[in-house]
Amino acid sequence: MRYVQIPHTELRPAVLSMGSICSVEGPVTDAYRILDMYRDAGGNLLDSANVYGKFFPAGTNICDIHIGNWLKSRGCRNRFIVETKGGHPDVKDFTRSRLDIESVRSDIEESLAALQTDSIDLFYLHRDDRSLPVGEIIEYLNDFRKVGLIRHFGCSNWEPDRICQAQAYAAAHGLEGFAANQLLWSMADADMRHYPWGGCTNMTAEAFDYHRTADMAVFAYESQARGFFQKYRDGGGKAVPENLLALYGSPRNIARYKRAVRLAEDKDLPLSAVILAYLTSAPFPSGALIGPRTPEQFEDSMTAADIELTPEEFIYLKGDSDYLQ
């Protein structure tokens, strides 16, 4: 398993992190089995969010709860980096922001209780609220850090200009800034007009260019584009659901798919390994969240755990080398 250093922190997570959404569906024993496999493979980063599970009738942060129970049952909290997210809009009304200090503190405290831990290693703000000054947000995150509720913090679904403003404020006031950014990113560029969830951001050309010099880590969610490339391989456009084709079926992505197939054949690798290695071989510290539902899916994802592409191979897959010149 390869690992990546998160700049300005002591955190060194595996390049493939376990997206704990896998704990939401199916028997908890299935989730535990996959978590056991991830631990045994050398994985050390578990990703969750306070809102995961709150869309279900029970309305609880079930992913945090499952992660906490698994860590306690295995007695392995100290070997894992545990990250979760808070500040998600009200699940009953996405227009109601919850990025105020009281709501974020409530999410942190609720996650700490569910995760059965004293401190969150890496806490992400799940959304942005551009009506709030970045200075106000950076100040309260640093206050949470000072009292030990969180060790480090990052942002998820923030635009580059807001991240830049937040980092500048932190630097000017001698405070810690965002250690990492979590956003929608895969080898397939998403057409966000067809993305089902509001308030999410993807890896645009602007975001990619920003992160080349931002000195912060980037972690990709939906890193395998919901299996778009594998489905396309298995039957072309006819095998891809209509909503997925609208989201990812651009000519640019099909061209990337063909290059990925050629590279996989040349290197004698599974296609899935090339797709994930593309993300973990970027010209900045990066990793990918995976969300396997079965042991077979887990094993397939793990084929990328030790693979690092060369800069030339990354450019070849990306297909627009101007961003790396």
Residue 74 has pLDDT above 90, yes or no: yes
In the DSSP assignment, the letter for residue 130 is: T
Residue 325 has pLDDT above 70, yes or no: no
Contacts of 248 (CB under 8 A, 6+ apart): 188, 189, 190, 191, 225, 226, 228, 240
Run of H or E including 108: helix 101-115
Answer whether 82's CB lies under 8 Å from 71's CB: yes
Domains of the chain (ranges, CATH numbers) = 16-324 (3.20.20.100)
pLDDT of residue 241: 94
User: In which band, very low, low, confident or very high, does the pLDDT at 183 lie, cut at 50, 70 and 90?
Assistant: very high
Q: What is the mean pLDDT of residues 205-215?
A: 97
Answer whether 311's CB lies under 8 Å from 20's CB: no
DSSP-derived secondary structure for 238-290: GGS-HHHHHHH--HHHHHHHHHHHHHHHHHT--HHHHHHHHHHTSSSSEEEEE
Which amino acid is residue 131, in one-letter code?
A: S
- The pair phi, psi for residue 306, each rounded to 5°, is -115, 10
Q: Which of 52-56, 163-167, 228-232 has the lowest mean pLDDT?
A: 52-56
Answer whether 272's CB lies under 8 Å from 227's CB: no
**Quick one: angle between helices 62-74 and 28-40, nearest 10?**
60
The burial of 246, by beta-carbon neighbours within 10 Å (0-12 exposed, 13-18 middle, 19 or more buried), is given as middle
User: In which band, very low, low, confident or very high, does the pLDDT at 92 lie, cut at 50, 70 and 90?
Assistant: confident
The rounded percent of the chain whose pLDDT value lies above 90 is 87
Residue 324 has pLDDT above 50, yes or no: no
Q: Which of 84-98, 179-193, 274-288 has the lowest mean pLDDT?
A: 84-98
Please name the residue that has the structure tokens 């049952």. 73
pLDDT tens sequence across 102-154: 999 999 999 999 999 999 999 999 999 999 999 999 999 999 999 999 999 99
Run of H or E including 109: helix 101-115
Tell me the C-alpha distance between 40 and 20, whole Å: 16
Cα torsion through 233, 239, 243, 245, rounded to 10:
40
Residue 22 has pLDDT above 70, yes or no: no
Tell me the C-alpha distance between 264 and 284, whole Å: 23
In the DSSP assignment, the letter for residue 196 is: S
User: In which band, very low, low, confident or very high, does the pLDDT at 237 lie, cut at 50, 70 and 90?
Assistant: confident
